[in-house]
Amino acid sequence: MKILANNLKRQYELYASEYEEKALEVLRSGWYILGKEVSGFEKEFADYIGTKYCVGLASGLDALWIAFRALGIGPGDEVIVCGNAYIACVMGITINGAVPVFVEPDAYDNLDADRIEAAITPAAKAILAVHLYGQSCDMTKIMDIAHRHGLKVVEDCAQSHGTTWQGKMCGTFGDISCFSFYPTKGLGAFGDAGALLTDHEEYADFVRMFRNYGSRIHYQNEVVGANSRLDELQAGMLRVKLTHLDEFNEERCRLAERYNTEIRNPLITPLKTRPGSNNTWHQYVIHCPYRDELMNYLRDNEIGTLIHYPIPPHLSEAYAYLGHEKGEYPITEKYANEVLSLPFYNGMTEEEQTFVIDKLNQFKPDQEK
Ligand SMILES: *Cc1c(COP(=O)(O)O)cnc(C)c1O
C-alpha cells in the first residue's frame, strides 16, 4: 500500500461539489479582486475566531511581515521567537529589518515561556507566539510577560485554526494574529492565501490600506505598500471550507487519538499536548532518536513522511548574516534531528492508518537488530 505524507485530494473529494459550485459562481460573477467573497470571508472568519477585524491577504508570510510593519517594528528592534519555528516566521520579522531573538522550545515543541524573560533586552519590542503543530503556546504566561515588559504580541496561527488556550480561541490573545491558508493548513485554500486578525481598528485600517499599494483612495498612495490581496476565488473556497472546519478538526483529533494509543514502539514518542490547550493536529509529529533511519524505513515501505523542520532558522543559509553557530540552541537543534511528521490528512482511511501503525510498531534500528 502506498501512503502519501499528505493527500489533499481526499479532503477535496469530501465536499467537491460545494467547491465546484462556488468556484463557478465566482468565475461567472466577473469580479475577481476585493469583492463580496473577500468581505464575506473576512466577516465570517473574524466571527469564527472572535476578533473584531479580519483583513484578507495573499499569504501567511505577508500577514506576518505586514503585522510587524503595522506595529511599527523595524530596523534594530528585537522580536522574540521560538528557535524551532518555521522559517517564514523569522522572515516576517527580518523583512522589516528587525532582529529575531531565538528562544528554545519546551516539552510541547512550542516557545518555552519560562525562557522568554532571559532573552529580553532593551531593544525587545515584541513576542511572536507561533502555535506550532496545532497546539497553543502558554498564552497566559506569554501575555503576562508582554504586559510587564511593554512588549507587543503577534500570534502566528498558521498551524492552529480552531486551536484554543483555556477555552479561548488562539488568535484572540495578541495585538495581531496571522493566519496562512496554504493548501495543507487546517483551513486551506486552493492556492496561496492568508489573513491578519486584530481587535484594533487602527491596525486593521493600516493593513487594508497597505495591502492595496498603500492606497485607500484609488491612485492616492500614502505609503510604499504591497500587492497582497486575497482574491475572490480563494475567499469563496475558504468560505465553503470554513463551514466544515470544526468537522475537519474533529476528524484529525480522531486520527491522532488512534496514533496516540496504537503506536507502541518505545523509540517513537508522540507529541504531548500541553494541559490547557486543545490540539487541532495540524501535523502528527513524533520524536525518534533514529529519525533518519525511521524515515528511510518508512519510505522503503512506501509510506511518505515529512520533517517540520530539518534546518532550524538560526542555521539556515538565509540567516548566516546573524552569525549564529551550531550548538547555540541545543534543544532546537535536537528537535530538528528527531521530529518526523507521519502521514496525516482528512479522509485518511482506517486501513491506511493500520498499515502505518503496524510498520511503526515493527521498526527496529540497525544497531538493535
Ligand atoms: C505556513 C506557515 C507560514 C507561512 O504561510 P504561507 O501562507 O505559506 O506564507 C508561517 N508560519 C507558520 C507557522 C506556517 O506553518
For 267-291, write each residue's pLDDT tens digit.
999 999 999 999 999 999 999 999 9
Ligand 1 centroid – CA 284 distance (Å): 17
What structural domains and CATH numbers belong to the chain?
Answer: 8-242 (3.40.640.10), 245-368 (3.90.1150.10)
Pocket residue to mutate for ligand 1, from 159, 170, 192, 309, most atoms within 8 A of Cβ:
159
Does the C-beta of 92 come closer than 6 Å to ligand 1?
no
Length of the chain: 369
* Nearest ligand 1 atom, CA 88: 10
Instruction: State the pLDDT at residue 69.
Output: 98
For 237-267, write each residue's pLDDT tens digit.
999 999 999 999 999 999 999 999 999 999 9
Ligand 1 centroid – CA 225 distance (Å): 21
For 162-210, write each residue's pLDDT tens digit.
999 999 999 999 999 999 999 999 999 999 999 999 999 999 999 999 9
Kindly indicate the confidence band of residue 368, based on its pLDDT and cuts at 50, 70 and 90.
Answer: confident
Mean pLDDT across 16-25: 98
- Which amino acid is present at 257? E
Rounded Cα distance, 280 and 112, in Å: 20
For 97-111, write each residue's pLDDT tens digit.
999 999 999 999 999
Are 73 and 125 in contact by the 8 Å Cβ rule? The answer is yes
Q: Which helix (H) or strand (E) holds 294?
A: helix 291-300
Does the C-beta of 86 come closer than 6 Å to ligand 1?
yes
Rounded Cα distance, 205 and 28, in Å: 30
Kindly indicate the confidence band of residue 219, based on its pLDDT and cuts at 50, 70 and 90.
Answer: very high
Ligand 1 centroid – CA 315 distance (Å): 19
Ligand 1 centroid – CA 214 distance (Å): 23
Number of H helices, E strands in the chain: 13, 14
Could you give the percent of the chain with pLDDT greater than 90?
A: 99
Ligand 1 centroid – CA 63 distance (Å): 9
Q: Which three cell numbers stand for residue 280?
A: 487541532
Does the C-beta of 188 come closer than 6 Å to ligand 1?
no
Instruction: State the pLDDT at residue 369.
Output: 74
Local structure of 272: helix, strand or coil: coil
* Nearest ligand 1 atom, CA 193: 7
* Nearest ligand 1 atom, CA 282: 15
Task: Please return the burial class of 316, using the count of CB atoms within 10 Å of its CB with bins 0-12, 13-18 and 19+.
Answer: middle
Are 19 and 12 in contact by the 8 Å Cβ rule? The answer is yes
Mean pLDDT across 218-222: 95
Q: What is the pTM of this model?
A: 0.97
Mean pLDDT across 136-141: 98
Pocket residue to mutate for ligand 1, from 6, 68, 130, 182, most atoms within 8 A of Cβ:
182
Does the C-beta of 55 come closer than 6 Å to ligand 1?
no
Write the residue with the smallest CA distance to atom 2 of ligand 1. Answer: 158
Q: What burial letters (b/e) apply to 145-174, b meaning 16+ CB within 10 Å?
A: bbeeeebbbbbbbbbbbbbbbeeebbbbbb
Q: What is the DSSP letter of 6?
A: -
Q: N- to C-terminal Cα distance for the chain?
A: 25
Query: Residue 314: which residues within 8 A CB-CB, separation 6 or more?
Result: 83, 102, 322, 324, 328, 329, 332
Instruction: State the pLDDT at residue 183.
Output: 97
Write the residue with the smallest CA distance to atom 5 of ligand 1. Answer: 60
Rounded Cα distance, 28 and 64, in Å: 33
The half-sphere exposure of 214 on its side-chain side, counting CA atoms within 13 A, is 9
Q: Which of these, 159, 218, 258, lies nearest to 34 by C-alpha position?
A: 218
Could you give the percent of the chain with pLDDT greater than 70?
A: 100
Backbone angles phi, psi at 105, to 5 degrees: -80, 165
Ligand 1 centroid – CA 61 distance (Å): 6
Mean pLDDT across 64-83: 98
pLDDT at 367 over 90: no
Instruction: State the pLDDT at residue 171.
Output: 98
Local structure of 122: helix, strand or coil: coil
Local structure of 135: helix, strand or coil: strand
Before 182, cis peptide (omega within 30)?
Answer: no
Write the residue with the smallest CA distance to atom 12 of ligand 1. Answer: 158
